[in-house]
Amino acid sequence: MTNTAVPAVEVRNLSKHFGSVIALNDVSMSVHYGEVMCLLGDNGAGKSTLIKTLSGVHKPTKGQYLVEGEPVDFDSPRDALARGIATVYQDLAMIPLMSISRNFFLGSEPTRKLGPFTLFDHQFANRVAREELLKMGIDIRDPSQPVGTLSGGERQSVAIARAVYFGAKVLILDEPTAALGVKQAGTVLRYIAQARARNLAVIFITHNPHHAYAVGDRFTILKRGRTFGTFTKDELSREEMVRMMSGADELDALSHELKEFERADRLRAAGQQTEVDQALGSS
């Protein structure tokens, strides 16, 4: 039985350097079982570096990485998987023309004996794939159909269900809704919310604050390799989240610049070129 008082995954003052480039600087965050932790940030904020460190691709330069309170030092993603930490990347490792059940068991195929031959157990694979997807509210009538016939949200769900079936206790989801439409994103967000009831720890990486706010329990915001901290919904509104992600000073500067361009357009339309040059020069 898992201890919900101790974080499933935690990093303390973690930094990652690539030569002279500081990708992460003194980042701390944690996620508990039965919780959805949203990791937010714009492009270049350090999200990818952090999840690759959590999943065993990178080793931290400084700081501590703990799993269930125990310091760990992963040498590869296989080590992370052995501790129940699975990452579902945005570019899903699936073969479109292969069946749903084949993709579900890709690399861990169930087999049966037929005389001297070892065969893929289609019946078992189809049954399990269908049952696991039903748990997520997705009714696949024919698991032998090509996975490429599914919608983007359904393919994401297959990848998540596969990770959970093979023992994941911590799910790291890398921008799972980024390339999806509203309805498809809803399918994935619904399962992320359900994961809480299944006592999974979920780290949901996104640059979409609206998706994060819909399902998250806590929110860690990254910008340029640093963290602003971790917040609950009581501590941070959606509007404040957007402002922190984009940078209040940068938004104010952009707003001022746009107003100057609008003023210049009005002056140009009135034929006042001298005033236009002065307006643009002052900005």
Q: Give the tens place of pLDDT for each residue, 148-172.
A: 988 888 888 888 888 889 989 999 9
pLDDT higher at 261 or 44: 44
Tell me the β-bridge partners of 219. Answer: 38, 231
Rg of the chain, C-alpha, whole Å: 23
Q: What is the pTM of this model?
A: 0.80
pLDDT-based confidence at residue 248 (cuts at 50, 70, 90): very low
Residues 27, 35 contacting (CB under 8 angstroms)? no
Number of H helices and number of E strands within the chain? Answer: 10, 12
- In Å, the largest CA–CA distance within the chain is 91
Alpha-carbon distance of 104 to 35, in angstroms, equals: 25
Q: What is the mean pLDDT of residues 250-275?
A: 60
Q: Give the tens place of pLDDT for each residue, 104-136.
A: 998 888 899 888 889 989 999 999 999 988 887
Query: Above 70 in pLDDT, residue 140?
Result: yes
Residues 97, 84 contacting (CB under 8 angstroms)? no
Length of the chain equals: 283
Query: Above 70 in pLDDT, residue 173?
Result: yes
% of the chain with per-residue pLDDT over 70: 86
What is the reported pLDDT for 268? 67
What is the reported pLDDT for 283? 53
Range from 69-83, 177-191, 267-281 carrying the lowest mean pLDDT: 267-281
What is the reported pLDDT for 279? 57
Residues 42, 85 contacting (CB under 8 angstroms)? no
Q: What is the DSSP string of 168-190?
A: -SEEEEESTTTT--HHHHHHHHH
Alpha-carbon distance of 139 to 252, in angstroms, equals: 48
What is the reported pLDDT for 58? 93
What is the reported pLDDT for 251? 46
Query: Above 60 in pLDDT, residue 276?
Result: no
Q: Give the tens place of pLDDT for each residue, 194-224.
A: 887 788 999 999 888 888 988 999 999 988 8
DSSP state of 218: E
What is the reported pLDDT for 32? 95
Average pLDDT score, the chain: 84
